[in-house]
Structure 1
Amino acid sequence: MKVGLLHSDAARLGAYWKAYLKELGVDLVTPTLPDAEALQVGRDSLPGESVNVQLALGRILGLGRVDAVLVPRWSAVNGDAWSEALTELLPRRISGLPLLIPVPDGPPDLENAAAEVGLRLSQNGGRVRLALERARLLASPREEMPMLSRAGRATVAVIGPRALLAEPHLSAPLRAELDRLGLHAVYSPDLPHGDVMKRAERMEQPAPTAGERELFGAASLLSGKGGVRGLLFVTSARDGATHAALDRLAARQHKPTLVLELDADQTDFTALEAFRDRVTLGEGGAGEGA
């Protein structure tokens, strides 16, 4: 059986699933298209969707002929059908896709899900048990707090979905612009996940989704740091649900904020200059969405 693993720098447990599939002995296939080409393929197929959806689709199509593809789940935001059911929606929109199997990108159901996937792919219980044992060390990747200061630069928190900010091809223009503006940016996907989720316990919202907990936890963790001068909330263009969630978070802050939409190959970051000025000059409070 030929099985594809959807490569994603945003996946926390990509190394775990790669090692696990190799231990199962399946014929593992990884994408061959560069991210720029994969994104273009996705844009051509789903022109009205957000860039993270387009990139995921392009990577799946870039796998070629496979029997199944393991797709790490995104942390869902309330009202965002793509983050809630990516593997169900894509086959409805694009015909001829292989079987898409969603897999967890963290605890608590990781090992049970991996066992089910292993039996489905190999139909060999003994091999599954051995593969689980050998891959287990990769189930808890080491995470450290990023540096919160840089000499001569004001620190800003950058809060947004992992599927956007942790993808180098999608976030590179924003990162370059923040660096050009002389800001030291601390990105929410780089924070230790356990610390973020502890902060998320403070949420007053009833039954928040996993994505909303992550966004709240990261904002709470970084906004409480004295050296963080402002908070930049970033969402993909055409992702209204995440934009709404970030608007609510921004309204709660007591430091300068900006809600920014990020699109593929974006070059206009005019709003960031005004945000930089408010951060460095200490002007204003909550900012306007962009």
Structure 2
Amino acid sequence: MNKALNAVCPILVQFAAVAREGQITRAAAALGVPQPTVTRHLARLESVLGVRLYTRGPGGVTLTADGEMLLEPVEQALALLLSGVSRLEAAGPGEQRVSLAFLHTLGEETVPSLLRTFGEITPHATFSLIQDSANGLLQRLADGEAELCLTSPLPDDPALNVVRLGVQRLVLAVPEHHDLAREPATALAAAASEDFVTLEPRNHMRNMADALCQAVGFEPHITFEASGVSTLRGLVAAGLGVAIVPAAPSPAAGVVEVPLADKGAYREIGLAWRRDISLPGPADEFRRFVIDRFRSEPFTVRDGIEAGGTQGEQDR
């Protein structure tokens, strides 16, 4: 059994070893642990659980029915822990992992661009990438699954540090042969009589699209609802409606994205992390890198994000 695992949960490791070996002496020898220590740990486990786990006989020990009941989940838990420890050991001391959560729409160019540049200056860093909706991302941050979160809207949560990175303009996606496709920009009211394809209810982008339509005096006629922006672009290309979407680095085939001239036709993009946890070195380096990158490139547009205007860490 892995030494680190024996140090983390010795009682369970020793319980499983005794069950496997059938003798306390052999189990102790296999683990490199004094026999009295194993005996004491087994007695403590039985005391905590309030059941007898073994019967002792001339040939060794045998699991009771309660012991048999406990053995399988213990072995499953130890196998899962051993897998995690083995991955950490295989990674070696030079590898540094950052867990980054972000919106699906930021995965087209923003996140790959940031990772590529960061990798050039920090070659040993690796990433666990998590994509989800805005609410899902914040939940993963709260649960500790993610260390950093690139999201919109800016979270209004006093438990989080939030930095505004920039704004992402919203556009009207129309089929390439649509009358509005030839316009350099348009007011949303010009599409009031169109069929709309949109995201599912309770999605933040859906709420923004509905609010923009209401602000100019109409309720959109919705023909299809989808779970992702890429699907919306596909529906638009098929001529099934128009859509309010974030500007993309390059529109999908058959789609023209017409900038919206309406007030409020944008969303803020921010970086968030928990206040109550100190970010480990690699995550903190990446946090600083992202903030500096957007501050230093005020005219760069990635995934339609107009960088710059960073307001610093905000109490939200």
Tell me the TM-score normalized by structure 1: 0.28
Please identify which structure carries the higher helix content: 1
Tell me the TM-score normalized by structure 2: 0.26
Bigger-Rg structure (1/2)? 2
Please identify which structure carries the higher strand content: 2
Higher relative contact order (CA 8 A, sep 6+): 2
